[in-house]
Structure formats: C-alpha cells, structure tokens
Structure 1
Amino acid sequence: MSQPDLDTWRTQVGQWLATVLEPAREPDSTGDTPDLAVFHNLPDEEERLLLERCRAYQRARFDAGYQALTLPRENGGAGLSAAHAAAFAQKEAAYRVPPSTELISVTVRLVGMSVALFGTAEQRDVYARAFLRTDLLACQLFSEPGAGSDLAALRTRARQEGEDWVIDGQKVWTSGAQFAHYGLLLARTDPDVVKQAGITAFLVPMDAPGVEVRPIRQMSGGTSFNEVFLSGVRVPDRLRIGRPGQGWEVATTTLAFERTASGTGNRRKGGTFSDVLALARSLGRTGDPLVRQRLADLYIRAALRTATVDRVARASAAGDRPGPEASLTKLMASDLLTRTGQTAAELMGARISADTGEPGTFAWTQHLLGAPGYRLAGGTDQIQRNLIGERVLKLPGEPRVDRVPFSELSGN
C-alpha cells in the first residue's frame, strides 16, 4: 500500500491537532513555574486524574488513526514511515499535549507494540488494541533485585500445570504497577538451557491472586516505582506472549522500544534548555562569559540530541523493530538531563538547597533528585555504551563466561 504524501498528511495532522488541543505557550509567557520533575511525585488521586487526561488524548489519537504510526497495518498500526512519525511529533510539539506518565508510555509504546508484534491474532485484537488505545494499562515486569543490567539472569520461575502457568518470584522498579491492569512479565521456564534461551513472556493480570504491589519511596518524594511479588500466580497459557523460550526476543525488542521512547522529545522529562535559559535570565547571569559558555554547550547538546533522534527515526524503515541505534538516543537523553541539572545548580549555588520563595528555583531540586534514576531506567548508561560499542561500532565483545545452562551457574 502506497504511503500518503508527507506534506499533505502533515497538513491533515495539524488540522486534527487543532481540534483536540490548545496551542503551546511560550515557556515563560505565564510566569508559572514549569514541572521540572523527571519522575512524578503526585498523590494517588492526582496521578489517577492525570492518567485519565492522558488516556483521553491517547484514545482520540487512536480513533483518528494516529497511534502506532510505524507499526504494520497487519499488526494493528498505521503502517506509515518513520518520516511520518517524525512529522507527527513535530506538529504535536506546537500544542499543549497532556503531560504523560511512565505508565502511559510503557502501555502504548512498549507493551502495546510488543504484544502487537509477538501476540496471536486474538491477543492483538483483545489486548494490543486495548493497550494502544489505553483502554487497558500495562506495566513492565522485567527487572529483579538480582537481575537489572543483566536481565537474562532473572530468577522468577514459571512452571506449566495443565492449561495454566504457575509463577513465583519478585520484580522491582516497576513504574505504575499500582494503576496497571496487566503486566508484561518475563519468567524462566527452562533452567537447563543458556540463560537467554529459557525465558518466556506472559501477560499477568495485576489483580490476580498472589500478586502484591509495594510502593518504593524515591529520594525525590514520589512512589512511581514499585516492587511486585508473585506467589503461586496462575496465568492461563492463552496469556503467554510468543513461543515458550522466546521471552528474550520479546524482552530485547521491548527494551529497544523503551530506549527509543526514552530518547525522544515527545514527553517532557525534567527541565529543558529553555528552562535553564529562563533561570539564567531571572538571576541576571546571562552576561557572565562562563555562564554563556555553559548555556551554549547545553544548547548544542540539546540540538545534537534532537538531530540524532530525527536521524535514527528517518533511517528506520517503516515498521522495523528498533535496533541498537536506540541506545544512542537513550544515552544522549540521560546525559542531557544530568548536564541540565548541573548547570541549573551552578547558576543557583546554595539557593537550590532551600525554598527561598524565588519563583522557578527550588523546583529544580525535583530535577536534580530524579536525573540519576534516569541513567538507570531502560538500561544503565554502561549497558548502552556496551551495546553501542559491540553492535554499532562493531568493537570486540566482552568475554562471556555464562554460556552454559542457567542451572549450572553459581547460585542457581
């Protein structure tokens, strides 16, 4: 099927956005302090209200045919090119999109996409569509206390009993688990093969007996992350995603979607260059040559990140699964967040540690306390550098000593 003319389609997108959203305001046009938190720090009731605002927009976008733009039509997407997706993001940036959450991003851009790619026709119709439209919300049950960067070392087990799988284990750092309807879970189903080969993916109902969600209090004050304990949780085989043992492929594809999503500028995370510039102006520091140098460096890095996101998107064929290039955008995004916070802290000095009443100052503590976590989410900076080195630059890989059945590894 031929692709619609990009210029004509871009005009149509702008016309539709104008019917559902208000134009964006200039960053400092109202005098309001922007939300500088990298991770939300909201009471549950406010978080639910925010989720409903986000879901209303996602549903409107899905119904208008603008959701999952590069996903093939046979998988429930729009089947458009990466250039169309980039054009939509550019047009959308001119409007006041409801501030999204980690759970919305995980549901739409990770779990929804993965179920659409790996699920059966029935799973795509029942679940992928509901995730992409946010009729159902989904969290990601991947990381464990002993399996973070080395996710393939996970120890959550699933054993088959008739038509069900019985799952026991623990997951951690699960964003939005307290609000999710389902979780995309990885569990070890065969310990007698190498660790990557014995993993299977499942959709787990979060209200199933044996599922317990415990919030984790972050140093920024919020509880957007959770521990999830699974004790004898029974999941029907119809909720298995992909073949038994295909979980690692599901995981790597989902993580690549996550890194792509983390690196893009579609969802505000923390402060931006514009916020730092506004801060420097309010403090009367823009005449300082050292400050100007730091601002210029930050601006250049922000522009380079935007250009890299655009280049990676345009280099991808429509519908292709994201590859290791996604690690570039993720690494640049976490680096930019860190440098943005550091520059703001240098501008304010000791004033950043206390609320002096000056507008737009103490709010930066939310950015500073959240930015380190972003260097871990979706794969640490070190993991991204390994992926870039081995899979993009084709450098020699690190020595592997775990190419034996998982059951033979120490401690298993």
Structure 2
Amino acid sequence: MTAAVTGAPELNDHMAAAREWLAENAPATSIAAGDAHDVSVFHNLPYDTESKLIDELRAWQRTKFEGGYAAISWPSDLYGAGLSTEHEDAFKQAEAELVPLPRHELISVTVNLIAPTIRLFASEHVRSMLLPGLLDGSLLACQLFSEPSAGSDLANVSTRATRDGDGWVVSGQKVWTSGAQFADWGQAIVRTESGSSGSRGLTTFVIPMNAEGVEIRPIRQMSGGTSFNEVFLNDVRIPDSYRLGEVGDGWSVTRATLGFERANASNKKGVGGSFDQLLELAQRTNSLQHRDVRTSLADVRLREVGAEVALRRDKRARDAGEAPGAAGSMRKLQWVTRLGLVSDLARTMLGEKLIADCGDPGTFSWNAHLLGAPGYRIAGGTDQIQRSIIAERHLGLPPEPRAPKSSRTEPPK
C-alpha cells in the first residue's frame, strides 16, 4: 500500500467530499455525446462535433484543476493535491459513475501520459511552461512515436534531429498519431546520433504542433472517422530546452511514457461494446433464447470481471512499489481478445442488419464496432510486440532474433 500522506484525509472522508463535489460540479449531459446506441471503438465524429466534445472535456478538466482534483497524487509544489494513489483511484471511479461526459483519447494521453513524462524529464523551464496547461485542459499533447517503416518497433525510428547552434532541426514522418489535429504539443522520439541503430542514439523532445514545418494530415479509417493522423516534420526548428532527458537517452524517456500508458490501459470503459450493451442488444433481438448467445454473453461478462480483478491487483502491485513488468501487455492482449468476442457475438445476433442502416436503432451502429475493434490489435503496440514483451519479461525467454537493419526488406514505395 502507498504510505499515507501526512495530514491527508481518510479515504472514506475524501470520497464523501469528492462525491459531493462531483454532484455539484459535474455537467448534466454532453451536447457532443452523439447517438445513445454508439458502440464505436474509435471516434467516428465530424470534425466540428469532435472539436466540440474536446472543448467540453477541456472545460471539465479545468473545473477539476480548480477544484483540486486534476492531479490528486502529485505533490503540491507541482500543481497536485499531495494525496495517495488510492485517493486518486477512488476519485476516478466516482467520476466514471457520476460524470456523463464521453471520453476522448487525446485528453487521456495529455493528462495520464505526457504530463507525467514532462514532470519527470523536462527542464524546469518546460515544466513551468507546460504542466499547468496540460493539467487544466488549456493545452493538449499527442504522441509522435510510430513511423511508417517502424510500426510498433519504436527503437527503429528514423526521424532525425540534428544540432543547429543551441537548438535542433527535426525532419521525418510520424503516423497513427491520435488527436494530432487538435493537439498543441507533441512528444517525439527521434534519432540524434548519426549511424546509430536500435534504442541507441535516440532523444525525446516536445514539439509545438503549430511550429513552422509541421504538417498534419488526417487518415480516414474504414469505420469513417479520422482519429489518426500522419504528421510530417519538415526541418522543424526547436530549442534544446524542449529536450526531455539527456541526449541519447530518449529510449528511457519513451519507455517511461509507455509505462504510464500500460498502467492506464486496463481501464477502457469509454470504449463501446460493453456487456450491458450486448445484453441490451440480445434482449431487443430476442436472441437470449439461443444457448450459444447466452454462453457467449457469459464469456464476455467473465472477461470483464476478470479485467476488473486484474486491474485491482495491478493497482496493489503499483502501490507496493513493484515494477509493472509485462502486466500491461497481458492486460492489453486480454482486452483485445474480449473486443473480438464482442464483435463476433454482435455479428451473430445482427447478421445482415450490419450491412446497411435501415433505420432500426442500435443495429447498424454495431458496424462501427466491428470495423474499429481490429485497430486495437495495432494501437498501443501490436499483438506481436505485446507477446514478445510477455515472453521476455514475464517468462524469461530469450529475445527474438532480429535481422541486421541493413538486411531488412524495405516496404514497396
């Protein structure tokens, strides 16, 4: 358990005060929430609607910041409340129950991944410049990690930064960047040592997304939305003060960010396709009379409960100071498997109603889930990468052999 903070309120008292505060301050509804039957995995919203949703979430983040609930477990001299992680987890659970706003990945990335990374690795100048805005919602940040020829192998990035006086010039391309079109800043891992390969010679920077030379191109997904983007960095000039960590130590910084990501990966309640939504579909389609449907529903529910138990176990381990190891990768694989089971069951119950929207509420909307669910086999690290992490860090198996970079087959142009 995390050591109690001197002078901190008891957890029960904290929760009573937090729930009262949430009841008084939470917005009643979201004007950008969209269809009540939305079960999409990725956002499939028009640009203006998605922008409106983000503005609502930014306003709510500002409200939490002003109320002292934006960074509960952070120290008070870094805009936090100085409480324990148990206090923070309890507030998040109450917030999920009492606040009707849908989630957006860019807000989560900003608050849960980028802000903690900047807190640990940024210069005092960058901390004071960015942390208040990242925590109060006035600034949003994305991850500039994946590249077209590197995929989930972040140690194989080729975007480069070269010294230019007291600054750097960054050139290259990033891809699959969630929320880049709405972000103010990006955290980028780039190669700063000429001739280096793998995890050596990498450095991490923060880059203003409105800097000269930054070009953002949304990617149209097969589900219709444009959650992801290509980001082109064309001789983007940044000062050395925007560096996170030491030159050449970018892999350690990036792994810390990925650690924050995996610590938050088990909680995906904002993603469509829950057991309750499936059960409601089964009732409306009179599918509960079929044994296979009932069995599959039970399987989905068991996996949901298993994920909740695993999340609590992971939190206990984290609070005890244990290294996360491969737990995040195991949880991600388990969650992706459950997404597939949900899609298969929806397909079984709806059949041809998934092909076209015939005006029957809550039927064709599941098409977005089926088209989006496979994307999470790639997002946040492919299934293959997660299995390699589990094999090496949990099972103690030797690393998978890697071909020399010069001999790897280049993708067709």
**1:7 maps to which of 9, 12, 30:** 12
What corresponds to 2:46 in structure 1?
43
Tell me: CA distance 1:120–1:97, structure 2 relative to 1, closer, same or farther (3 Å): farther
Tell me: CA distance 1:164–1:35, structure 2 relative to 1, closer, same or farther (3 Å): same
- Structure 2 Cα separation of the partners of residues 262 and 245 of structure 1: 28
Conserved 8 A contact 1:112-1:129:
no
Gaps of 5+ in 1: 26-31
What corresponds to 1:103 in structure 2?
106
1:12-411 to 2 correspondences below 5 Å: 12-21=17-26, 33-73=36-76, 75-265=78-268, 267-317=269-319, 323-400=325-402
Tell me, what secondary structure is at the counterpart of 1:200? strand
- Structure 2 Cα separation of the partners of residues 318 and 68 of structure 1: 20
Tell me, what secondary structure is at the counterpart of 2:319? coil
Identical aligned residues as a percent: 46
- Structure 2 Cα separation of the partners of residues 173 and 167 of structure 1: 19
- Structure 2 Cα separation of the partners of residues 127 and 276 of structure 1: 41
- Structure 1 Cα separation of the partners of residues 101 and 81 of structure 2: 22
| TM-superposed deviation, 1:74 | 5.4
- Structure 2 Cα separation of the partners of residues 73 and 401 of structure 1: 48
Amino acid at match of 2:277: D
Tell me, what secondary structure is at the counterpart of 1:204? strand
- Structure 2 Cα separation of the partners of residues 7 and 348 of structure 1: 45
Tell me: CA distance 1:85–1:324, structure 2 relative to 1, closer, same or farther (3 Å): farther
Tell me, what secondary structure is at the counterpart of 1:263? coil
Tell me, what secondary structure is at the counterpart of 1:114? helix
| TM-superposed deviation, 1:409 | 7.3
Tell me: CA distance 1:8–1:159, structure 2 relative to 1, closer, same or farther (3 Å): same
Tell me: CA distance 1:82–1:400, structure 2 relative to 1, closer, same or farther (3 Å): farther
- Structure 2 Cα separation of the partners of residues 75 and 389 of structure 1: 38
- Structure 2 Cα separation of the partners of residues 237 and 113 of structure 1: 20
Tell me, what secondary structure is at the counterpart of 2:97? coil
Tell me: CA distance 1:283–1:411, structure 2 relative to 1, closer, same or farther (3 Å): closer
Tell me: CA distance 1:222–1:363, structure 2 relative to 1, closer, same or farther (3 Å): same
Task: Give CA deviations for 1:10-35 in whole Å, capped at 9, x if unaligned.
Answer: 1111111111226899xxxxxx7322
- Structure 2 Cα separation of the partners of residues 23 and 312 of structure 1: 32
What corresponds to 1:28 in structure 2?
none
Gaps of 5+ in 2: none
| TM-superposed deviation, 1:71 | 3.9
Tell me, what secondary structure is at the counterpart of 1:178? helix
Tell me, what secondary structure is at the counterpart of 1:223? coil
Conserved 8 A contact 2:156-2:197:
no
Structure 1 residue runs of 4 or more that deviate by more than 6 Å after TM superposition = 318-321, 408-412
- Structure 2 Cα separation of the partners of residues 100 and 340 of structure 1: 20
Number of aligned residue pairs: 401
Amino acid at match of 1:346: T
- Structure 2 Cα separation of the partners of residues 335 and 67 of structure 1: 32
Tell me: CA distance 1:160–1:22, structure 2 relative to 1, closer, same or farther (3 Å): closer
- Structure 2 Cα separation of the partners of residues 284 and 110 of structure 1: 43
Amino acid at match of 1:185: A
Amino acid at match of 1:364: W
Amino acid at match of 1:129: P
Tell me: CA distance 1:90–1:293, structure 2 relative to 1, closer, same or farther (3 Å): same
| TM-superposed deviation, 1:93 | 2.4
RMSD of the alignment, in Å?
2.4
Tell me: CA distance 1:377–1:324, structure 2 relative to 1, closer, same or farther (3 Å): same
| TM-superposed deviation, 1:298 | 0.7
What corresponds to 1:29 in structure 2?
none
Q: TM-score, normalised by structure 2?
A: 0.90
| TM-superposed deviation, 1:73 | 4.7
* Comparing 200-209 and 190-199, the one that deviates more: 190-199
Tell me: CA distance 1:146–1:269, structure 2 relative to 1, closer, same or farther (3 Å): same
Amino acid at match of 2:179: G
Amino acid at match of 1:273: F
- Structure 1 Cα separation of the partners of residues 84 and 407 of structure 2: 44
Tell me, what secondary structure is at the counterpart of 2:393? helix
Tell me, what secondary structure is at the counterpart of 2:399? coil
- Structure 2 Cα separation of the partners of residues 207 and 220 of structure 1: 28
Tell me, what secondary structure is at the counterpart of 1:104? helix
Conserved 8 A contact 1:69-1:77:
yes
| TM-superposed deviation, 1:77 | 3.7
